A and B are shown apart, each in its own frame.
Chain A
Amino acid sequence: EVQLVESGGGSVNPGGSLRLSCAASGFTFTNAWMSWVRQAPGKGLEWVGRIKSKSDGGTTDYAAPVNGRFTFSRDDSKNTLYLQMNSLKTEDTAVYYCATGGPEQTSSWYSWYFEHWGQGILVTVSS
C-alpha cells in the first residue's frame, strides 16, 4: 500500500523558514517524480511544484508564487521528500500535500496527475 506522510508543519512568523518532510512507502520512491500541492484555508488546490527522480536528473520546477523562496529536495536512501520554505508570507498559509502518480512507464511515476496523496500538513504564517 502506498503511503505518504507529511511532517514538520506549524506556525511561523512572516519572513521565517520551515522545512516539511514527506515519508514515502509502498512504492519505489527512487523512480518517482514527487510533487507538492497546497490548499489555503477554504480555498482550492494549488500546484506548488515537482522534483524529478535522480535518474531523470533530479531537477525541480516551481510555481511562480514560490519560485526563489521554496526548495525541493529528496533523500532516496530515506525514501523522504523535503520542502524547504524560506521568506514565508502570510499568503503561504495552507495545508501542504505531497503527492505522486502516473503515468507509469517502466516502473517510473511521472507525477502528471496525482493518484497518491499524503494526509496534508498545516503551515500557518502569522505574526
Chain B
Amino acid sequence: EMVMTQSPATLSLSPGERATLSCRASQSVSSNLAWYQQKPGQAPRLLIYGASIRATGIPARFSGSGSGTEFTLTISILQSEDFAVYYCQQYNNWPRWTFGQGTKVEIK
C-alpha cells in the first residue's frame, strides 16, 4: 500500500518568510505528484502537478521539486493568503491514488 508522509505537520512562519514543505512516498512515484492548497470551508486548489509544473493561474512564488520518493513544495515569499493546509497526492500507483495527511502553514 502506497503511503504519502508529509512533514512537518505544522509550520509556523511570518509573512515574507520562505516555506519549505516535504512529502515522502513509501515507494517511487516518479514525477507523478501533485500539490494542493486548502483553506477552511473551501475545496482544495491544485497548485502543482508533474512534481514541478504550476497549474493555471498559480503564482510563481509556488514551486515544486523532487522525483522518486522525495518531494518539496516551496513558497518563496509567504503572503497572507498563503496560510492554509497543503496536501500532496500521488498518481503513479495505479489504480489507487493517495493523499498525504497535510501540512498546515500558520501565522507565527
Contacts and interface: CB of A to CB of B under 8 A. Distances in A.
What is the interface of chain B mostly: helix, strand, loop, or mixed? loop
A120 B51 CA distance: 26
Nearest to B34: A113
A76 interface: no
Q: Chain A: interface residue count, which band? A: 20 to 34
Contacts of A47: 89, 96-99
Contacts of A115: 46, 55-56
A47 B34 CA distance: 13
B98 to A, nearest CB: 7
Nearest to A118: B43
A113 B89 contact: yes
Interface in A68-122: 97, 101-102, 112-115, 117-120
Contacts, number: 53
A35 B34 CA distance: 15
Given A44-B101, A113-B49, A115-B56, A120 B95 contact: no
B99 A45 contact: yes
Interface string B85-98: 00101010001111
B44 interface: yes
8 contacts: A45-B87, A45-B99, A45-B102, A61-B95, A64-B96, A97-B44, A114-B36, A114-B44
Interface of B: 32, 34, 36, 38, 43-46, 49, 55-56, 87, 89, 91, 95-102
Interface of A: 35, 37, 44-47, 50, 61, 63-64, 97, 101-102, 112-115, 117-120
Given A61-B96, A101-B46, A112-B49, 18 more contacts: A37-B44, A37-B99, A44-B99, A44-B100, A44-B101, A45-B38, A45-B87, A45-B99, A97-B44, A112-B32, A112-B97, A113-B46, A114-B36, A114-B44, A115-B55, A117-B43, A117-B44, A117-B45
